Structure 1
Amino acid sequence: MNKYTYYILFFLVIFTFSCKRQKINLPTSTTKIKNLSVQEIDFKYFSSRSKVTYTDSENNLNAIANIRIKKDSLIWISVSKIGVEGVRALITQDSILVVNRLKNEFTAYDFKSLSEKFNFNITFDIIQAAIVGNLPLAQESDNAKLVKEKDHFLLRQSENSITIDNFISANTMKLTKLLMIEQPTNNSLTVDYGDFKPLNTFLFPYSSIVSLQYQATKGNDQTSVNIQHQKVEITDEELKFPFDIPQKYDRK
């Protein structure tokens, strides 16, 4: 897999999975969740233009990402540098297609194979939720636990081998931090949401700092992405999702 395709795949994974952490021990007073009104963004169509800084042990990449979403149906991502589009991706409920215009090639994945590649359960719903700053799982999910801290609620959920800690502001009832850890591998991820501003009738996080720590061939590795949304819109008006694979492109 060339580095440009890896960037877009990691961009998808980084929205769904973050930094290695010490295990959080919930107080013994933790109770089953009930009557927690987390403020989430609802929409028909979503679009954003964002500045993205990607850093790992070998690379440092600055780019512009344009994102469009048709709720529960399509996610479209275009990544450009110096005004030139390098990669475009189209995500449906079933598959992920990535076109690399710099290498004249494309890659196709289903969610099962992509999840196996990164050893993490990736779904359309999780990617969509993470982009707009909503809870990755429904707050009434099985085995959800809730505790009230000084200035926030901590909602702990589990999905197969993944533990998810959602930090929710007691003042705004918005998700401000997300911690996820995969138990067998200890791969882990942190998403810090910030710079909340009004978006229509909602509060939207215009910045996200994401850190992923995972097991690599040469030992543990860490990758981070800083996302600064420059323009965000939610609308009922239909958006376009232009996507095609030229016949001359090779499949990788």
Structure 2
Amino acid sequence: MRITLFLVAVIALMASCRSTRKIQTVIAKRDTVTVVKPVVDNSKEDTLAFIRQSLAGMKAAEISFNTFSAKINVDYQGADGKKYDVNANLRMYKDSAIWISITAIFGIEGLRAYITKDSVKVLNKQDKVYTARSVAYLQEMTKLPLDLHSLQEILIGNPVFVDSNVISYSKAGDKISLLSLGDWFKGLLTLNSNYKIDNSKLDDMDITRSRTCNLSYTDYENKKGVEFSTKRRITVAEKGKLDIKLDFKSYEFNETLSFPFSVPKNYKKD
């Protein structure tokens, strides 16, 4: 069960660090994450023109792919302070499937998951348990409007849920920050000079939850004309603090992939 929840946490926390709808207010500072308040340009005409330019640049910088595969080292520290170091093998077929295999010490596979437009299937190989749910399971577990497409965009490193009605921005050197207020989060999205995500900071709109999240993208490299962040860090705090580091050791675009997933007869169904 622990490794199943770990998988959901990795996907969900990457998803929770996102930009939402309309830029209106500065995010309040939380105890766990420091927020730098940007200076906002209030010239309406200049603001709208710059925002259109930024959104167009961000759209042009999105990664286009048919298939994607990666080997990722994952360092995970939970609210209990315990640390875990696992490896994730990720494969994706655009708008069709996400396949994830998680291995721990000595390369022993502990979990395999297969996500499609309609379903989430998980093999817990530690406990020999098979779980099958509709894709709504991800929404129930994370309290976020997730689907296959948005998950793929998040994992590949593209921005998601960015509304074209953005009306304000700030600049600091070669960085552009967009400040938003949406249905789920107050969000501050920072882009680098290539219009790629540099950092995303969010606070939950539900004050009873006090969920806050910070996601950073670093170590971009250009592989066959694709700018890709190879190191990412996710910090989430609610009742406790969760820290995840993702190090993409290798990755490939548009190769022929397989998505093996079969349920052994001795597995119990959850």
What is the TM-score with the length of structure 2 in the denominator?
A: 0.81
Alpha-carbon distance change, 129 to 158 in structure 1, aligned in 2, over 3 angstroms: farther
Larger radius of gyration: 2
| Counterpart selection for 1:228 from 243, 247, 252 | 247
Alpha-carbon distance change, 95 to 80 in structure 1, aligned in 2, over 3 angstroms: same
The number of residues matched between the two structures is 242
**Superposed counterparts of 1:1-252, under 5 Å:** 2-18=1-17, 20=33, 27=40, 29=42, 31-32=47-48, 33-36=51-54, 37-38=57-58, 39-58=61-80, 59-81=82-104, 82-137=106-161, 139=162, 141-150=163-172, 151-157=174-180, 159-169=182-192, 171-184=193-206, 185-214=209-238, 220-235=239-254, 237-252=255-270
Q: Which structure's residues are more often helix, by fraction?
A: 2
Alpha-carbon distance change, 143 to 99 in structure 1, aligned in 2, over 3 angstroms: same
Give, in angstroms, the shift of residue 190 of structure 1: 1.3
> Aligned partners of 1:158, 1:126: CA distance in 2, in Å?
19
Structure 2: gaps spanning 5 or more residues: 18-31
Identity %: 22
CA contact under 8 A between 2:39 and 2:171: conserved in structure 1? no
Structure 1 range deviating more: 225-234 or 86-95: 86-95
> Aligned partners of 2:181, 2:122: CA distance in 1, in Å?
30
| SS of aligned partner of 2:62 | coil
Over aligned residue pairs, what C-alpha RMSD do you find? 2.2
Amino acid aligned to 1:223: L
Alpha-carbon distance change, 57 to 174 in structure 1, aligned in 2, over 3 angstroms: same
Give, in angstroms, the shift of residue 152 of structure 1: 1.2
Amino acid aligned to 1:27: V
Amino acid aligned to 1:87: L
Structure 1 range deviating more: 38-47 or 102-111: 102-111
Amino acid aligned to 1:97: K
> Aligned partners of 1:168, 1:67: CA distance in 2, in Å?
25
> Aligned partners of 2:182, 2:89: CA distance in 1, in Å?
30
> Aligned partners of 2:41, 2:53: CA distance in 1, in Å?
20
Give, in angstroms, the shift of residue 161 of structure 1: 2.3
CA contact under 8 A between 1:89 and 1:98: conserved in structure 2? yes
> Aligned partners of 1:172, 1:22: CA distance in 2, in Å?
22
Alpha-carbon distance change, 28 to 172 in structure 1, aligned in 2, over 3 angstroms: closer
CA contact under 8 A between 1:135 and 1:166: conserved in structure 2? no
Alpha-carbon distance change, 145 to 80 in structure 1, aligned in 2, over 3 angstroms: farther
CA contact under 8 A between 2:119 and 2:133: conserved in structure 1? yes
> Aligned partners of 1:49, 1:133: CA distance in 2, in Å?
15
> Aligned partners of 1:77, 1:26: CA distance in 2, in Å?
41
> Aligned partners of 2:40, 2:170: CA distance in 1, in Å?
10
Give, in angstroms, the shift of residue 21 of structure 1: 5.6
Alpha-carbon distance change, 174 to 44 in structure 1, aligned in 2, over 3 angstroms: same
> Aligned partners of 2:98, 2:149: CA distance in 1, in Å?
10
> Aligned partners of 1:158, 1:87: CA distance in 2, in Å?
36
> Aligned partners of 1:111, 1:183: CA distance in 2, in Å?
24
CA contact under 8 A between 1:152 and 1:168: conserved in structure 2? yes
| SS of aligned partner of 1:16 | helix
Runs of 4+ in 1 over 6 A off after TM superposition: none
What is the TM-score with the length of structure 1 in the denominator?
A: 0.86
Alpha-carbon distance change, 26 to 89 in structure 1, aligned in 2, over 3 angstroms: farther
